Structures are given as C-alpha cells and as structure tokens.
Amino acid sequence: MIPRTAAPLIHTLLQGFPVATVTGPRQSGKTTLARAIMAGKPYRSLEDPDQRAFALDDPRGFLTQLPDGGVLDEIQRAPELLSYLQTQVDADGRMGRFLLTGSQQLGLLSSVTQSLAGRSGMVELLPLTYAELSSASMAPTDLDTAMFKGGYPALYDRPLQPQHWFSAYVSAYVERDVRQLLNVKDLSAFQRFVRLCAGRSGQIVNLSTLAADCGINHNTAKAWLSVLEASYVVYLLQPHHANFNKRLVKSPKLYFYDTGLLSWLLGIQAAQQLATHPLRGAIFETWVISELRKTWTHRGNPPAFYFWRDSNGLEVDLIIDQAGALTPVEIKSGMTINRDYFTSLQRWKALAGSQAAEAILIYGGTEGQKRTDVRVLGWQQVKDLA
C-alpha cells in the first residue's frame, strides 16, 4: 500500500474521538487506508446488500456484533445506523472504536453532523498526491504523464490504461451518485454538462452560459454542479475578499480534483497529446492547485486558497492566506521561464504591500530559482511548497 499523508491525522483523531470518519471521492483509497489503520478489527461494507439490510433492519443487533468497533465502509448507504452508533459509543466511552468511510459529501456530512456531533473527527481523503507517489517510487517522471494519469490509486496498482479505467469510473460511480442524489431524467444531458465543465476547468464559473450551452435551465445547472462538488469531482475556488481599492470579480473559478479524469473528459487519449493541447495551461493550473489542495487537506489543514482578479484583468492564479500573510502563486505551463511570467506577481505585490508574503512562480520546467522577490519552482517541486 502506498503510504498516505492522512494516516497520522486519522490515528490522532482516533485517540481523541470514539469515531473517525473518512470521506472523499470513490476509489480514492479510503477502504484500503481504513482497513490498514484498523487492522485486526472487523470490516463491514454497507455496499453489501446483506450487510446493509442487517444494519437497517436490526441496527442494535448489527452493532452488537462489533463490541470493540471496526470499519463501517460506505456509511452513507445506511445513515439511520448513525443514531444507534451514537448511543453505543456514548455508553461505552472508549476512544477509537469505529472508523467510518463514505463517498457522498453532502449526505454523509449532514448525517454525521446530526448524529455524531462531537463524537467523530472528520478527514477528507483525496486521490494520491505527487509527493505520496514519489515516496513509493511510483511517480511519473514527466509532467504530461503525471497530468494524464492523475492520482487515483487503481492506475498505479493495476495494469490499466487511464482511458479504460475512467470510462468505467464515470459510469459506475459518478453517474450513479447523480441518480441517488437527483432525479436526472436526461442522463445524456448530464454527461454533456460534465464535459462542458471539463472544458472550463480553471475558468470563472458562469452558470447562465454553462446552462445555455448544455440546453438546460440555470437552476438545473446549479443543482448538477452541486452534485459534482458533493461527489468530489469538482471544487470551486473563491475570489479573495481583499480588494486593495480595486473592483473585483466575485464569481468563483471551477477546478477538477483530478487531471486524469479531466483529461479523459476532454477526450485526450495519450499523454503525448498534452504537449500541444490548447487547454494545456488550464490542465497544468488544475494539476498544481489540486496537488496543493490535496496536501493541505490530508494534513487536516482546510486550505485557505483563493484567486484574485480585478475588473481590469489583473489576476493571480492562487492566493494562500496563512495567518493573514498572503502568498501569491502564479502558475505557467511553459518549460522556459519568461519575464512576462512575473508581471502579475509584481503588480499584485505592489497593491498588497505589507500583507504580501514571498511570491511563488510554478512553471512546467524542472529547475528552481531564487530571484530577488520571487521563488521559482519547477513542477516536481510543488510538493516542497506544500
């Protein structure tokens, strides 16, 4: 098993809570990690119809079979069980008894918050980071392959081609989640919507345009985008609130959690296509921000990530807010450093003044540099920033 950065956090939470809950996208490695952490304790998957029926029909009897706790996988399939679990852990009093996993963010989090408030620590497990792959000597050595494969564990422990795996993944999980969360009657329209979102990764969200291009109404587009967020397919990067006396863009930017899935949705069939793909810059920006977001999240630090754009078009790709110090990050896919890469950073730092921390430029090359007011990192050094 590839060591996961989130493992120490889960161990820590199990020392202080009777329950820990691991959520995240399907196939991100939750079950593998949970079973490794709770090795020697029982495992029950609520995807199993027999186990789910037992848990729903006789919840007390189901939990009686787990006197010392264990792993309850895909707990969102039996949310009613959580109320009975609350009663049992309160009566028992021991810490670290149960490790729950679940894949649907909205339904799972609301159920856990209602039934296990104060009793469960929460962890999000996202796909593998480049740093995790590097620690296992499995990381791709070229940028195009890293972006093309993404970070889902199955692509690193099985002899699978990304295009074959993602095709099955979308059909088996993403579309199924949609049917469970929303009554989507026109699945082909939803599929078109997801692909249109892929073409907009790294762009400002305009729901009206997205809905019109897909042939649906604004409210439907909003609901479908929420489902993609709940299923950990996409996330929204919010604009930074500090305006420095400038008129700012107020809409968020759309990003995918995984560039392997993004590449598949864009119809990219081989890593070599990325070298000249018209959306290479957006895919690289998505990869960098996703890597940073995954690393921060796995360490239990909800990332205070933003972007900044004013009404004149001045933009910084990423602003990291750490205790009030703002780190601007510019992301460029080119392999050769160009002086134009520094323009936005320099202008933003002049506006931000004392709030600005050291500026960062991440580019598609491999050599790092230390300039007077900007630290330059090659793509493989993203893990060093995190």
Q: Is residue 2 part of a domain?
A: no
Find the domain containing 107 and state its range.
7-124
**CA 334, CA 52: separation in Å to the nearest integer?**
51
User: Is residue 1 assigned to a domain?
Assistant: no
Which of 102, 124, 146 is where one domain is finished? 124
In terms of domains, do 210 and 78 share one? Answer: no
Rounded-to-integer distance, Cα 209 and Cα 214, Å: 9
Q: Are residues 118 and 186 in the same domain?
A: no
- 262 and 219 within one domain: yes
Residue at a domain's end among 124, 155, 182? 124
pLDDT tens for the 386 residues of the chain, in order: 899 999 999 999 999 999 999 999 989 999 999 999 999 999 999 999 999 999 999 999 999 999 999 999 999 889 899 999 999 999 999 999 999 998 866 566 666 767 788 899 999 999 999 999 999 999 999 999 999 999 999 999 989 899 999 999 998 877 777 776 777 777 788 889 999 999 999 999 999 999 999 999 999 999 899 889 888 999 999 999 776 666 677 899 999 999 999 999 999 999 999 999 999 999 999 999 999 999 999 999 888 999 998 877 889 999 999 888 999 999 999 999 998 999 999 999 998 888 899 999 999 999 988 887 899 999 999 988 76
CA-based nearest residue to 128, from 287, 304, 13: 287
DSSP line for 214-246: HT--HHHHHHHHHHHHHTTSEEEEPBPS--TTS
Which residue in 126, 222, 236 sits closest to 182, CA to CA? Answer: 222
Residue at which a domain ends, from 124, 157, 172: 124
Same structural domain, 116 and 208: no
**Domains contained in the chain, number:** 2
CATH of the domain at 35: 3.40.50.300
- The first and second tokens of residue 365, run together, are 């090359």
Helices (H), the chain: 7-16, 30-37, 49-57, 59-64, 81-92, 105-115, 130-135, 143-149, 154-157, 162-169, 175-181, 187-198, 207-214, 218-230, 259-265, 280-298, 343-352, 382-385
